[in-house]
Structure 1
Amino acid sequence: MRKPLVTALLALVIAGAGAAPTATAAPAAAHAPTAASAPTTASARDTTTTPARDTAPTLHAVDYAGTVALSNCSGSVVRLPASADSDPALVLTNGHCLETGFPEPGEVIVDQASSRSFTLLNSAGSGVATLRASKVAYSTMTDTDVTLYQLTRTYAQIRSSYGISALPLDDSHPVAGTAIKVVSGYWKRIYTCAIDGFAYRLKEGGWTWKDSVRYTSACDTIGGTSGSPVIDTATGKVVAVNNTGNEDGGRCTVNNPCEVDANGTVTVRKGINYAEETYGIPACFGAGNKLNLNASGCTLPKP
Protein backbone atom coordinates (compact mmCIF):
# COMPACT_ATOMS: atom_id res chain seq x y z
CA MET A 1 0.00 0.00 0.00
CA ARG A 2 3.03 2.10 -0.24
CA LYS A 3 4.32 5.12 1.62
CA PRO A 4 2.16 7.92 3.08
CA LEU A 5 1.11 10.70 0.70
CA VAL A 6 3.13 13.21 2.67
CA THR A 7 6.31 11.27 1.88
CA ALA A 8 5.26 10.79 -1.72
CA LEU A 9 4.59 14.51 -2.13
CA LEU A 10 8.02 15.39 -0.75
CA ALA A 11 9.62 12.97 -3.17
CA LEU A 12 7.74 14.50 -6.09
CA VAL A 13 8.67 18.04 -5.12
CA ILE A 14 12.34 17.07 -4.89
CA ALA A 15 12.17 15.28 -8.22
CA GLY A 16 10.16 18.05 -9.88
CA ALA A 17 7.48 15.55 -10.81
CA GLY A 18 4.56 17.82 -10.06
CA ALA A 19 2.43 19.36 -7.37
CA ALA A 20 -0.26 17.84 -5.26
CA PRO A 21 -3.76 17.77 -6.72
CA THR A 22 -6.40 20.22 -5.71
CA ALA A 23 -8.43 17.52 -3.96
CA THR A 24 -8.00 17.35 -0.19
CA ALA A 25 -4.81 15.53 0.66
CA ALA A 26 -5.40 12.33 2.50
CA PRO A 27 -3.79 10.36 5.22
CA ALA A 28 -2.93 7.42 3.19
CA ALA A 29 -0.65 5.87 0.95
CA ALA A 30 1.80 5.59 -1.77
CA HIS A 31 -0.19 2.86 -3.21
CA ALA A 32 -2.32 2.74 -0.17
CA PRO A 33 -3.21 4.83 2.87
CA THR A 34 -0.94 5.28 5.85
CA ALA A 35 -2.35 2.46 7.94
CA ALA A 36 -1.24 -1.12 7.35
CA SER A 37 -1.06 -2.07 3.68
CA ALA A 38 -3.02 -4.65 1.88
CA PRO A 39 -2.04 -7.33 -0.57
CA THR A 40 -4.11 -8.53 -3.57
CA THR A 41 -4.92 -11.95 -4.96
CA ALA A 42 -3.19 -13.88 -7.65
CA SER A 43 -4.07 -17.13 -9.33
CA ALA A 44 -1.73 -20.00 -10.01
CA ARG A 45 0.21 -18.65 -12.93
CA ASP A 46 3.86 -18.43 -13.89
CA THR A 47 5.58 -15.80 -11.78
CA THR A 48 8.71 -15.41 -13.84
CA THR A 49 8.04 -15.70 -17.56
CA THR A 50 7.33 -12.62 -19.59
CA PRO A 51 6.20 -13.79 -23.02
CA ALA A 52 6.56 -11.26 -25.78
CA ARG A 53 3.87 -10.70 -28.36
CA ASP A 54 4.67 -11.60 -31.96
CA THR A 55 3.16 -8.47 -33.43
CA ALA A 56 2.87 -4.97 -32.07
CA PRO A 57 -0.82 -4.05 -31.66
CA THR A 58 -2.19 -0.66 -32.60
CA LEU A 59 -1.97 1.49 -29.51
CA HIS A 60 -5.13 2.95 -28.02
CA ALA A 61 -4.87 6.57 -26.93
CA VAL A 62 -4.89 6.61 -23.13
CA ASP A 63 -5.50 9.84 -21.24
CA TYR A 64 -7.23 10.98 -18.04
CA ALA A 65 -10.82 11.00 -19.31
CA GLY A 66 -13.00 8.91 -17.00
CA THR A 67 -10.48 8.78 -14.17
CA VAL A 68 -11.26 10.33 -10.79
CA ALA A 69 -9.39 11.77 -7.83
CA LEU A 70 -10.40 10.69 -4.33
CA SER A 71 -9.35 12.40 -1.12
CA ASN A 72 -6.46 9.96 -0.68
CA CYS A 73 -6.36 7.74 -3.77
CA SER A 74 -7.05 7.43 -7.47
CA GLY A 75 -9.90 5.68 -9.27
CA SER A 76 -11.99 5.52 -12.42
CA VAL A 77 -15.59 5.43 -13.61
CA VAL A 78 -15.93 1.94 -15.08
CA ARG A 79 -18.52 0.22 -17.20
CA LEU A 80 -19.14 -3.52 -17.25
CA PRO A 81 -19.62 -5.35 -20.57
CA ALA A 82 -23.37 -5.75 -19.88
CA SER A 83 -23.98 -2.29 -18.39
CA ALA A 84 -26.71 -0.11 -19.92
CA ASP A 85 -26.58 3.67 -20.39
CA SER A 86 -29.39 3.99 -17.86
CA ASP A 87 -27.52 2.06 -15.14
CA PRO A 88 -26.06 3.92 -12.15
CA ALA A 89 -22.35 4.37 -12.89
CA LEU A 90 -19.65 2.62 -10.86
CA VAL A 91 -16.32 3.95 -9.57
CA LEU A 92 -13.46 1.48 -9.13
CA THR A 93 -10.66 1.97 -6.60
CA ASN A 94 -8.84 -0.12 -3.96
CA GLY A 95 -10.29 -1.77 -0.89
CA HIS A 96 -7.66 0.03 1.17
CA CYS A 97 -8.95 3.36 -0.16
CA LEU A 98 -12.32 2.87 1.57
CA GLU A 99 -13.20 6.01 3.58
CA THR A 100 -14.03 3.99 6.70
CA GLY A 101 -10.59 2.35 6.82
CA PHE A 102 -8.93 -0.85 5.62
CA PRO A 103 -11.21 -3.89 5.56
CA GLU A 104 -9.82 -6.58 7.86
CA PRO A 105 -8.51 -9.85 6.39
CA GLY A 106 -11.60 -11.93 5.61
CA GLU A 107 -13.94 -8.92 5.73
CA VAL A 108 -16.28 -8.20 2.82
CA ILE A 109 -18.47 -5.08 2.75
CA VAL A 110 -21.57 -4.84 0.55
CA ASP A 111 -24.31 -2.22 0.13
CA GLN A 112 -22.87 0.18 2.70
CA ALA A 113 -24.23 3.74 2.63
CA SER A 114 -21.76 6.31 1.34
CA SER A 115 -21.88 9.89 0.09
CA ARG A 116 -18.21 10.03 -0.88
CA SER A 117 -17.30 12.54 -3.58
CA PHE A 118 -14.98 12.08 -6.59
CA THR A 119 -13.44 14.67 -8.89
CA LEU A 120 -14.08 13.59 -12.49
CA LEU A 121 -11.23 14.39 -14.91
CA ASN A 122 -11.31 15.13 -18.62
CA SER A 123 -8.70 14.00 -21.15
CA ALA A 124 -6.31 16.79 -20.16
CA GLY A 125 -6.52 15.92 -16.46
CA SER A 126 -8.67 18.89 -15.49
CA GLY A 127 -11.47 18.40 -12.98
CA VAL A 128 -14.81 18.95 -14.69
CA ALA A 129 -17.32 17.72 -12.12
CA THR A 130 -17.87 16.33 -8.67
CA LEU A 131 -19.53 12.93 -8.69
CA ARG A 132 -21.07 11.46 -5.56
CA ALA A 133 -21.59 7.92 -4.34
CA SER A 134 -24.92 6.57 -3.17
CA LYS A 135 -23.30 3.50 -1.61
CA VAL A 136 -20.34 1.17 -1.45
CA ALA A 137 -21.54 -1.66 -3.65
CA TYR A 138 -18.59 -3.92 -2.77
CA SER A 139 -15.30 -3.65 -0.88
CA THR A 140 -12.68 -6.10 0.33
CA MET A 141 -8.96 -6.65 0.80
CA THR A 142 -9.33 -10.42 0.80
CA ASP A 143 -8.11 -12.26 -2.34
CA THR A 144 -8.16 -8.88 -4.07
CA ASP A 145 -7.98 -5.20 -3.14
CA VAL A 146 -11.03 -3.51 -4.57
CA THR A 147 -13.85 -1.09 -3.77
CA LEU A 148 -16.72 -0.42 -6.15
CA TYR A 149 -18.89 2.62 -5.43
CA GLN A 150 -22.32 3.09 -6.99
CA LEU A 151 -22.90 6.69 -8.05
CA THR A 152 -26.02 8.86 -7.96
CA ARG A 153 -25.75 9.46 -11.73
CA THR A 154 -26.06 7.12 -14.68
CA TYR A 155 -23.52 6.60 -17.45
CA ALA A 156 -25.80 8.51 -19.83
CA GLN A 157 -26.11 11.47 -17.47
CA ILE A 158 -22.35 11.74 -17.02
CA ARG A 159 -21.69 11.53 -20.75
CA SER A 160 -24.46 14.01 -21.57
CA SER A 161 -23.33 16.56 -18.99
CA TYR A 162 -19.55 16.32 -19.39
CA GLY A 163 -18.87 14.45 -22.64
CA ILE A 164 -16.97 11.75 -20.76
CA SER A 165 -17.55 8.02 -21.14
CA ALA A 166 -16.76 5.38 -18.55
CA LEU A 167 -13.70 3.17 -19.02
CA PRO A 168 -14.68 -0.34 -20.17
CA LEU A 169 -13.76 -3.19 -17.83
CA ASP A 170 -12.22 -6.19 -19.59
CA ASP A 171 -13.71 -9.57 -18.66
CA SER A 172 -10.69 -11.53 -19.93
CA HIS A 173 -7.61 -12.46 -17.92
CA PRO A 174 -4.68 -10.13 -18.70
CA VAL A 175 -1.65 -11.47 -20.58
CA ALA A 176 2.03 -11.20 -19.67
CA GLY A 177 3.91 -8.87 -22.00
CA THR A 178 0.88 -6.61 -22.52
CA ALA A 179 1.71 -2.91 -22.83
CA ILE A 180 -0.15 -0.98 -20.13
CA LYS A 181 -0.61 2.47 -18.66
CA VAL A 182 -1.39 3.18 -15.01
CA VAL A 183 -3.40 6.42 -14.86
CA SER A 184 -3.45 8.29 -11.55
CA GLY A 185 -6.28 10.78 -11.18
CA TYR A 186 -4.87 11.90 -7.83
CA TRP A 187 -1.45 12.91 -9.14
CA LYS A 188 -2.54 13.48 -12.75
CA ARG A 189 0.29 11.27 -13.82
CA ILE A 190 0.45 8.37 -16.29
CA TYR A 191 2.94 5.51 -15.92
CA THR A 192 3.88 3.40 -18.96
CA CYS A 193 5.25 -0.14 -18.74
CA ALA A 194 4.20 -3.75 -19.37
CA ILE A 195 2.82 -6.69 -17.45
CA ASP A 196 5.91 -8.63 -16.35
CA GLY A 197 4.01 -11.61 -15.01
CA PHE A 198 1.72 -12.76 -12.22
CA ALA A 199 2.17 -13.58 -8.54
CA TYR A 200 0.38 -16.77 -7.49
CA ARG A 201 -0.07 -15.17 -4.07
CA LEU A 202 0.96 -11.72 -2.95
CA LYS A 203 1.23 -11.26 0.82
CA GLU A 204 1.43 -7.94 2.63
CA GLY A 205 1.04 -7.77 6.39
CA GLY A 206 -2.13 -9.69 7.28
CA TRP A 207 -3.57 -9.64 3.75
CA THR A 208 -3.16 -12.11 0.89
CA TRP A 209 -4.11 -11.49 -2.74
CA LYS A 210 -4.40 -13.99 -5.56
CA ASP A 211 -3.09 -13.83 -9.13
CA SER A 212 -1.72 -10.31 -8.82
CA VAL A 213 -0.29 -8.43 -11.79
CA ARG A 214 3.42 -7.63 -11.52
CA TYR A 215 4.67 -4.61 -13.50
CA THR A 216 7.98 -4.17 -15.24
CA SER A 217 10.15 -1.66 -13.37
CA ALA A 218 9.13 1.40 -15.44
CA CYS A 219 5.83 1.64 -13.53
CA ASP A 220 7.40 3.06 -10.36
CA THR A 221 4.08 4.10 -8.84
CA ILE A 222 3.96 6.06 -5.59
CA GLY A 223 1.56 6.85 -2.76
CA GLY A 224 -1.73 8.30 -3.97
CA THR A 225 -1.70 6.13 -7.10
CA SER A 226 -3.64 3.44 -5.22
CA GLY A 227 -6.82 2.60 -7.11
CA SER A 228 -5.54 3.83 -10.49
CA PRO A 229 -6.93 1.92 -13.48
CA VAL A 230 -4.42 -0.27 -15.30
CA ILE A 231 -5.27 0.09 -18.98
CA ASP A 232 -4.32 -2.21 -21.86
CA THR A 233 -2.99 0.23 -24.47
CA ALA A 234 -4.10 -2.04 -27.33
CA THR A 235 -7.76 -2.15 -26.28
CA GLY A 236 -8.27 0.83 -23.96
CA LYS A 237 -9.86 -1.53 -21.44
CA VAL A 238 -9.19 -1.72 -17.70
CA VAL A 239 -7.47 -5.01 -16.84
CA ALA A 240 -6.43 -4.34 -13.23
CA VAL A 241 -6.40 -1.81 -10.39
CA ASN A 242 -3.06 -0.52 -9.08
CA ASN A 243 -2.48 -1.28 -5.39
CA THR A 244 0.96 -1.83 -3.89
CA GLY A 245 4.72 -2.22 -4.21
CA ASN A 246 7.78 -3.38 -2.32
CA GLU A 247 9.48 -0.23 -1.06
CA ASP A 248 12.38 -1.34 1.11
CA GLY A 249 13.07 -4.98 0.26
CA GLY A 250 11.18 -6.18 3.34
CA ARG A 251 9.63 -9.64 3.39
CA CYS A 252 5.80 -9.82 3.41
CA THR A 253 5.39 -6.74 5.63
CA VAL A 254 3.24 -3.63 5.23
CA ASN A 255 4.49 -1.67 2.20
CA ASN A 256 6.78 -4.61 1.37
CA PRO A 257 4.65 -7.33 -0.22
CA CYS A 258 6.24 -10.64 -1.16
CA GLU A 259 5.33 -13.20 -3.80
CA VAL A 260 4.54 -16.76 -2.73
CA ASP A 261 4.38 -19.49 -5.38
CA ALA A 262 2.26 -22.65 -5.35
CA ASN A 263 5.04 -24.51 -3.50
CA GLY A 264 5.28 -21.87 -0.79
CA THR A 265 8.56 -20.36 -2.04
CA VAL A 266 8.80 -16.67 -1.15
CA THR A 267 10.30 -14.11 -3.54
CA VAL A 268 10.97 -10.47 -2.65
CA ARG A 269 11.30 -7.93 -5.46
CA LYS A 270 12.43 -4.60 -4.05
CA GLY A 271 11.11 -1.61 -6.01
CA ILE A 272 8.59 -3.65 -8.01
CA ASN A 273 4.91 -2.69 -8.00
CA TYR A 274 1.68 -4.63 -8.38
CA ALA A 275 -2.00 -4.47 -9.31
CA GLU A 276 -5.05 -6.64 -8.74
CA GLU A 277 -6.86 -8.18 -11.69
CA THR A 278 -10.42 -7.05 -12.38
CA TYR A 279 -11.63 -9.50 -15.04
CA GLY A 280 -13.71 -11.41 -12.46
CA ILE A 281 -15.82 -8.42 -11.46
CA PRO A 282 -18.35 -8.39 -14.36
CA ALA A 283 -19.63 -11.89 -13.54
CA CYS A 284 -20.73 -10.63 -10.10
CA PHE A 285 -23.02 -7.89 -11.38
CA GLY A 286 -26.38 -8.33 -13.08
CA ALA A 287 -28.94 -6.10 -14.77
CA GLY A 288 -28.92 -2.53 -13.53
CA ASN A 289 -25.33 -2.95 -12.26
CA LYS A 290 -26.73 -4.80 -9.25
CA LEU A 291 -24.27 -6.89 -7.25
CA ASN A 292 -25.04 -10.62 -7.15
CA LEU A 293 -22.30 -12.60 -5.45
CA ASN A 294 -24.29 -15.82 -6.04
CA ALA A 295 -24.31 -15.38 -9.81
CA SER A 296 -22.82 -18.14 -11.94
CA GLY A 297 -19.12 -17.52 -12.50
CA CYS A 298 -18.77 -14.99 -9.68
CA THR A 299 -15.65 -15.72 -7.64
CA LEU A 300 -15.38 -12.55 -5.53
CA PRO A 301 -15.24 -13.28 -1.78
CA LYS A 302 -18.59 -13.20 0.01
CA PRO A 303 -19.40 -11.69 3.42
Structure 2
Amino acid sequence: MNKPLVAACFSALLLGATAAPATAVSDERPAKAKAVDFAGTVALSNCSGSVVRVADSKPDDPALVMSNGHCLEAGFPAPGEVVLDKPSSRSFTLLDSSGGDAGTVKASKIAYGTMTDTDLSLYELTSTYSEIESEFGIKALELNAAHPEQGKAITVASGYWKKMYKCSIDGFAYRLKEGNWTWKDSVRYTPDCQTIGGTSGSPVIDDATGKVVAVNNTGNESGEECTDNNPCEVDESGKVTVRKGINYAQQTYGIVPCVAPGNKIDLSREGCALPKP
Protein backbone atom coordinates (compact mmCIF):
# COMPACT_ATOMS: atom_id res chain seq x y z
CA MET A 1 0.00 0.00 0.00
CA ASN A 2 1.01 3.63 -0.35
CA LYS A 3 1.49 3.51 3.40
CA PRO A 4 0.04 6.09 5.76
CA LEU A 5 2.86 8.54 6.37
CA VAL A 6 3.16 7.66 10.05
CA ALA A 7 4.08 4.11 9.03
CA ALA A 8 6.30 5.41 6.26
CA CYS A 9 8.47 7.25 8.78
CA PHE A 10 9.96 3.88 9.70
CA SER A 11 10.94 2.93 6.15
CA ALA A 12 11.49 4.45 2.73
CA LEU A 13 8.55 6.15 1.08
CA LEU A 14 6.78 3.98 -1.43
CA LEU A 15 6.70 4.63 -5.07
CA GLY A 16 4.77 5.88 -3.91
CA ALA A 17 -9.28 10.98 -25.16
CA THR A 18 -10.67 12.98 -27.30
CA ALA A 19 -14.45 13.52 -27.53
CA ALA A 20 -16.48 11.58 -30.10
CA PRO A 21 -17.47 13.63 -33.15
CA ALA A 22 -20.87 15.26 -32.96
CA THR A 23 -23.67 13.62 -34.88
CA ALA A 24 -25.31 16.92 -35.76
CA VAL A 25 -23.92 20.18 -37.05
CA SER A 26 -23.85 22.94 -34.46
CA ASP A 27 -22.28 26.37 -34.17
CA GLU A 28 -21.81 25.84 -30.44
CA ARG A 29 -18.53 24.51 -29.17
CA PRO A 30 -18.65 21.86 -26.43
CA ALA A 31 -18.00 23.18 -22.97
CA LYS A 32 -14.36 22.88 -22.03
CA ALA A 33 -13.67 20.69 -19.04
CA LYS A 34 -12.62 22.59 -15.93
CA ALA A 35 -8.96 22.15 -15.08
CA VAL A 36 -8.46 19.77 -12.16
CA ASP A 37 -7.36 21.56 -8.99
CA PHE A 38 -7.10 20.86 -5.25
CA ALA A 39 -10.49 22.25 -4.24
CA GLY A 40 -12.33 19.64 -2.16
CA THR A 41 -9.28 17.53 -1.37
CA VAL A 42 -8.25 17.06 2.25
CA ALA A 43 -5.18 16.15 4.25
CA LEU A 44 -5.47 13.57 7.00
CA SER A 45 -2.87 13.09 9.72
CA ASN A 46 -1.22 10.34 7.67
CA CYS A 47 -3.01 10.17 4.29
CA SER A 48 -4.98 12.08 1.67
CA GLY A 49 -8.70 12.24 0.94
CA SER A 50 -11.53 14.31 -0.50
CA VAL A 51 -14.98 15.66 0.28
CA VAL A 52 -17.29 13.69 -2.02
CA ARG A 53 -20.94 13.53 -2.99
CA VAL A 54 -23.18 11.54 -5.30
CA ALA A 55 -25.48 13.13 -7.87
CA ASP A 56 -28.47 12.82 -5.52
CA SER A 57 -26.75 14.33 -2.47
CA LYS A 58 -28.56 17.41 -1.14
CA PRO A 59 -26.97 20.67 0.08
CA ASP A 60 -28.20 20.05 3.63
CA ASP A 61 -26.92 16.47 3.79
CA PRO A 62 -23.96 15.79 6.10
CA ALA A 63 -20.87 15.79 3.88
CA LEU A 64 -18.72 12.71 3.32
CA VAL A 65 -14.92 12.46 3.24
CA MET A 66 -13.44 9.54 1.28
CA SER A 67 -10.05 7.97 1.89
CA ASN A 68 -8.60 4.44 2.17
CA GLY A 69 -9.56 1.71 4.60
CA HIS A 70 -5.90 1.41 5.49
CA CYS A 71 -5.93 5.08 6.56
CA LEU A 72 -8.44 4.51 9.40
CA GLU A 73 -7.18 5.81 12.74
CA ALA A 74 -7.57 2.38 14.35
CA GLY A 75 -5.31 0.73 11.78
CA PHE A 76 -5.84 -1.72 8.95
CA PRO A 77 -9.16 -3.61 8.99
CA ALA A 78 -8.63 -7.36 8.86
CA PRO A 79 -9.62 -9.32 5.74
CA GLY A 80 -13.41 -9.66 5.82
CA GLU A 81 -13.83 -6.86 8.35
CA VAL A 82 -16.28 -4.03 7.65
CA VAL A 83 -16.54 -0.94 9.88
CA LEU A 84 -19.99 0.69 10.00
CA ASP A 85 -21.23 3.79 11.84
CA LYS A 86 -18.35 3.95 14.31
CA PRO A 87 -18.02 7.25 16.20
CA SER A 88 -15.03 9.35 15.16
CA SER A 89 -13.86 12.89 15.90
CA ARG A 90 -11.12 12.90 13.27
CA SER A 91 -10.19 16.26 11.74
CA PHE A 92 -9.32 16.98 8.11
CA THR A 93 -7.54 19.97 6.59
CA LEU A 94 -9.59 21.20 3.65
CA LEU A 95 -7.68 22.55 0.64
CA ASP A 96 -8.65 25.33 -1.73
CA SER A 97 -8.11 25.30 -5.49
CA SER A 98 -4.45 26.33 -5.26
CA GLY A 99 -3.60 23.82 -2.52
CA GLY A 100 -3.76 26.29 0.34
CA ASP A 101 -5.32 25.39 3.68
CA ALA A 102 -8.93 26.60 3.57
CA GLY A 103 -9.84 25.40 7.06
CA THR A 104 -10.70 22.32 9.10
CA VAL A 105 -13.67 19.97 8.94
CA LYS A 106 -14.46 17.27 11.48
CA ALA A 107 -15.96 13.79 11.39
CA SER A 108 -18.87 12.61 13.49
CA LYS A 109 -18.39 8.96 12.53
CA ILE A 110 -16.83 6.43 10.19
CA ALA A 111 -19.81 5.69 7.99
CA TYR A 112 -18.02 2.84 6.20
CA GLY A 113 -14.59 1.27 6.09
CA THR A 114 -13.03 -1.90 4.73
CA MET A 115 -10.00 -3.39 3.01
CA THR A 116 -11.95 -6.32 1.55
CA ASP A 117 -12.58 -6.22 -2.23
CA THR A 118 -11.70 -2.51 -2.10
CA ASP A 119 -9.66 -0.18 0.13
CA LEU A 120 -12.15 2.42 1.26
CA SER A 121 -13.18 4.65 4.13
CA LEU A 122 -16.07 7.11 4.21
CA TYR A 123 -16.36 9.58 7.09
CA GLU A 124 -19.56 11.47 7.81
CA LEU A 125 -18.80 15.06 8.79
CA THR A 126 -20.42 17.36 11.33
CA SER A 127 -20.83 19.90 8.48
CA THR A 128 -23.25 19.83 5.57
CA TYR A 129 -22.24 20.52 1.98
CA SER A 130 -23.93 23.91 2.09
CA GLU A 131 -22.12 24.84 5.31
CA ILE A 132 -18.76 23.91 3.79
CA GLU A 133 -19.49 25.90 0.66
CA SER A 134 -20.73 28.89 2.66
CA GLU A 135 -17.77 28.94 5.08
CA PHE A 136 -14.93 27.92 2.78
CA GLY A 137 -16.23 28.42 -0.76
CA ILE A 138 -15.48 24.76 -1.51
CA LYS A 139 -17.74 22.36 -3.38
CA ALA A 140 -17.56 18.57 -3.00
CA LEU A 141 -16.20 16.36 -5.75
CA GLU A 142 -18.81 14.15 -7.39
CA LEU A 143 -18.39 10.38 -7.60
CA ASN A 144 -18.84 9.10 -11.15
CA ALA A 145 -21.58 6.48 -11.27
CA ALA A 146 -20.04 4.64 -14.26
CA HIS A 147 -17.11 2.24 -14.54
CA PRO A 148 -13.92 4.14 -15.47
CA GLU A 149 -12.53 3.70 -18.98
CA GLN A 150 -9.14 2.49 -20.11
CA GLY A 151 -7.01 5.20 -21.68
CA LYS A 152 -8.71 8.11 -19.91
CA ALA A 153 -6.46 10.90 -18.66
CA ILE A 154 -6.58 11.16 -14.86
CA THR A 155 -5.16 13.18 -11.99
CA VAL A 156 -4.31 11.78 -8.57
CA ALA A 157 -4.67 14.81 -6.28
CA SER A 158 -2.89 14.38 -2.95
CA GLY A 159 -4.12 16.68 -0.20
CA TYR A 160 -1.34 15.53 2.13
CA TRP A 161 1.50 16.47 -0.22
CA LYS A 162 -0.41 19.19 -2.10
CA LYS A 163 0.82 17.52 -5.25
CA MET A 164 -0.86 16.23 -8.40
CA TYR A 165 0.16 13.14 -10.33
CA LYS A 166 -1.03 13.07 -13.95
CA CYS A 167 -1.21 9.94 -16.09
CA SER A 168 -3.80 7.68 -17.74
CA ILE A 169 -5.70 4.53 -16.86
CA ASP A 170 -3.51 1.76 -18.27
CA GLY A 171 -6.02 -1.00 -17.56
CA PHE A 172 -7.64 -3.03 -14.81
CA ALA A 173 -6.42 -5.85 -12.58
CA TYR A 174 -9.01 -8.63 -12.21
CA ARG A 175 -7.64 -9.22 -8.73
CA LEU A 176 -4.92 -7.29 -6.94
CA LYS A 177 -3.36 -9.19 -4.06
CA GLU A 178 -1.16 -7.61 -1.40
CA GLY A 179 -0.23 -9.55 1.70
CA ASN A 180 -3.46 -10.69 3.35
CA TRP A 181 -5.72 -8.46 1.27
CA THR A 182 -7.33 -8.92 -2.15
CA TRP A 183 -9.02 -6.19 -4.17
CA LYS A 184 -11.27 -6.56 -7.20
CA ASP A 185 -11.11 -4.83 -10.60
CA SER A 186 -8.41 -2.38 -9.53
CA VAL A 187 -7.33 0.57 -11.66
CA ARG A 188 -3.75 0.33 -12.95
CA TYR A 189 -1.98 3.60 -13.80
CA THR A 190 0.43 4.25 -16.61
CA PRO A 191 3.98 4.71 -15.22
CA ASP A 192 3.72 8.53 -15.00
CA CYS A 193 1.80 8.37 -11.70
CA GLN A 194 4.59 7.59 -9.26
CA THR A 195 2.55 7.99 -6.09
CA ILE A 196 4.31 7.79 -2.71
CA GLY A 197 3.53 7.31 0.98
CA GLY A 198 0.99 9.90 2.10
CA THR A 199 -0.89 9.85 -1.21
CA SER A 200 -3.06 7.00 0.05
CA GLY A 201 -6.72 7.96 -0.18
CA SER A 202 -6.23 10.62 -2.86
CA PRO A 203 -9.14 11.02 -5.27
CA VAL A 204 -8.46 9.85 -8.81
CA ILE A 205 -10.16 12.43 -11.02
CA ASP A 206 -11.18 12.01 -14.65
CA ASP A 207 -9.64 15.05 -16.36
CA ALA A 208 -12.47 15.29 -18.89
CA THR A 209 -15.38 15.31 -16.44
CA GLY A 210 -13.82 16.42 -13.15
CA LYS A 211 -15.53 13.49 -11.43
CA VAL A 212 -13.90 10.99 -9.10
CA VAL A 213 -13.47 7.52 -10.60
CA ALA A 214 -11.21 5.84 -8.02
CA VAL A 215 -9.30 6.21 -4.76
CA ASN A 216 -5.50 5.84 -4.85
CA ASN A 217 -4.15 3.10 -2.60
CA THR A 218 -1.01 1.12 -3.48
CA GLY A 219 1.97 0.34 -5.69
CA ASN A 220 4.61 -2.32 -6.19
CA GLU A 221 7.76 -0.95 -4.59
CA SER A 222 10.50 -3.54 -5.04
CA GLY A 223 9.21 -6.15 -7.48
CA GLU A 224 8.28 -8.76 -4.87
CA GLU A 225 5.26 -10.97 -5.53
CA CYS A 226 2.04 -10.37 -3.57
CA THR A 227 3.79 -9.17 -0.40
CA ASP A 228 3.03 -6.12 1.74
CA ASN A 229 3.79 -3.00 -0.32
CA ASN A 230 4.28 -5.19 -3.40
CA PRO A 231 0.86 -6.03 -4.85
CA CYS A 232 0.59 -8.52 -7.70
CA GLU A 233 -2.09 -8.91 -10.35
CA VAL A 234 -3.98 -12.20 -10.60
CA ASP A 235 -6.09 -12.92 -13.70
CA GLU A 236 -9.15 -15.14 -14.07
CA SER A 237 -7.00 -18.20 -14.67
CA GLY A 238 -4.84 -17.57 -11.61
CA LYS A 239 -1.82 -16.28 -13.53
CA VAL A 240 0.24 -13.85 -11.44
CA THR A 241 1.85 -10.73 -12.92
CA VAL A 242 4.23 -8.44 -11.03
CA ARG A 243 4.73 -4.87 -12.26
CA LYS A 244 7.52 -3.20 -10.31
CA GLY A 245 7.06 0.53 -9.90
CA ILE A 246 3.43 0.51 -11.08
CA ASN A 247 0.72 2.01 -8.90
CA TYR A 248 -2.97 1.29 -8.42
CA ALA A 249 -6.32 2.61 -7.23
CA GLN A 250 -9.70 1.17 -6.29
CA GLN A 251 -12.76 2.09 -8.31
CA THR A 252 -15.45 4.16 -6.63
CA TYR A 253 -18.51 3.88 -8.89
CA GLY A 254 -19.70 1.00 -6.68
CA ILE A 255 -20.19 3.41 -3.79
CA VAL A 256 -22.95 5.32 -5.56
CA PRO A 257 -25.77 2.72 -5.30
CA CYS A 258 -25.03 2.38 -1.58
CA VAL A 259 -25.75 6.02 -0.72
CA ALA A 260 -29.33 6.44 0.50
CA PRO A 261 -31.28 9.67 0.99
CA GLY A 262 -29.65 11.82 3.65
CA ASN A 263 -26.23 10.61 2.46
CA LYS A 264 -26.53 7.51 4.61
CA ILE A 265 -24.64 4.34 3.68
CA ASP A 266 -27.20 1.57 3.20
CA LEU A 267 -25.64 -1.74 2.18
CA SER A 268 -29.08 -3.28 1.58
CA ARG A 269 -29.96 -0.92 -1.28
CA GLU A 270 -30.55 -2.37 -4.74
CA GLY A 271 -27.32 -2.49 -6.70
CA CYS A 272 -25.08 -2.02 -3.67
CA ALA A 273 -22.25 -4.55 -3.84
CA LEU A 274 -19.89 -3.15 -1.22
CA PRO A 275 -18.76 -5.83 1.26
CA LYS A 276 -21.09 -6.29 4.20
CA PRO A 277 -20.22 -7.23 7.79
Please say whether Structure 1 and Structure 2 have the same fold, judged by a TM-score greater than 0.5.
yes
Distance 1:141 1:6, change over 3 A: closer
Distance 1:226 1:131, change over 3 A: same
Question: SS state of the match for residue 70, structure 2?
Answer: helix
1:258 is aligned with what amino acid?
C
2:219 alignment partner, one of 220, 238, 245: 245
Native 8 Å contact 1:4 1:27 kept in 2:
no
Equivalent position of 1:198 in the other structure: 172
Equivalent position of 1:216 in the other structure: 190
Map 1:45-56 onto structure 2 (within 5 A): none
1:28 CA drift (Å)? 11
> Over residues 146-192 of structure 1, what are the superposed CA-to-partner deviations in whole Å (9 max), with x where a residue is unaligned?
00000000000000111100001101000000000000000000000
Question: SS state of the match for residue 270, structure 2?
Answer: coil
Query: Equivalents in 2 of 1:29, 1:143: separation in Å?
Result: 25
Map 1:24-39 onto structure 2 (within 5 A): 30=14
Equivalent position of 1:76 in the other structure: 50
Distance 1:133 1:288, change over 3 A: same
Equivalent position of 2:127 in the other structure: 153
Query: Equivalents in 2 of 1:216, 1:284: separation in Å?
Result: 30
Query: Equivalents in 2 of 1:272, 1:249: separation in Å?
Result: 10
Question: SS state of the match for residue 282, structure 1?
Answer: helix
1:7 CA drift (Å)? 9.3
1:277 CA drift (Å)? 0.1
> Over residues 2-34 of structure 1, what are the superposed CA-to-partner deviations in whole Å (9 max), with x where a residue is unaligned?
35737978xxxxxxxxxxxxxxxx9997489xx
CA-based RMSD of the aligned residues comes to 2.2
1:99 aligns with 2:59: no
1:81 CA drift (Å)? 1.3
Question: SS state of the match for residue 161, structure 1?
Answer: helix
Map 1:1-303 onto structure 2 (within 5 A): 1-2=1-2, 5=5, 30=14, 58-303=32-277
Query: Equivalents in 2 of 1:113, 1:158: separation in Å?
Result: 21
Equivalent position of 1:23 in the other structure: none
1:298 CA drift (Å)? 0.1
When normalised by structure 2's length, the TM-score is 0.92
Native 8 Å contact 2:155 2:205 kept in 1:
yes
Distance 1:137 1:31, change over 3 A: farther
Runs of 4+ in 1 over 4 A off after TM superposition: 6-9, 26-32, 52-59
Aligned length: 268
Equivalent position of 2:25 in the other structure: none
Equivalent position of 2:24 in the other structure: none
> Over residues 55-107 of structure 1, what are the superposed CA-to-partner deviations in whole Å (9 max), with x where a residue is unaligned?
59954311110000000000000011110000000000000000000000000
Distance 1:96 1:3, change over 3 A: closer
1:291 CA drift (Å)? 1.2
Equivalent position of 1:17 in the other structure: none
> Over residues 211-234 of structure 1, what are the superposed CA-to-partner deviations in whole Å (9 max), with x where a residue is unaligned?
000000000000000000000000
Question: SS state of the match for residue 132, structure 2?
Answer: helix
Query: Equivalents in 1 of 2:270, 2:13: separation in Å?
Result: 35
Query: Equivalents in 1 of 2:12, 2:75: separation in Å?
Result: 10
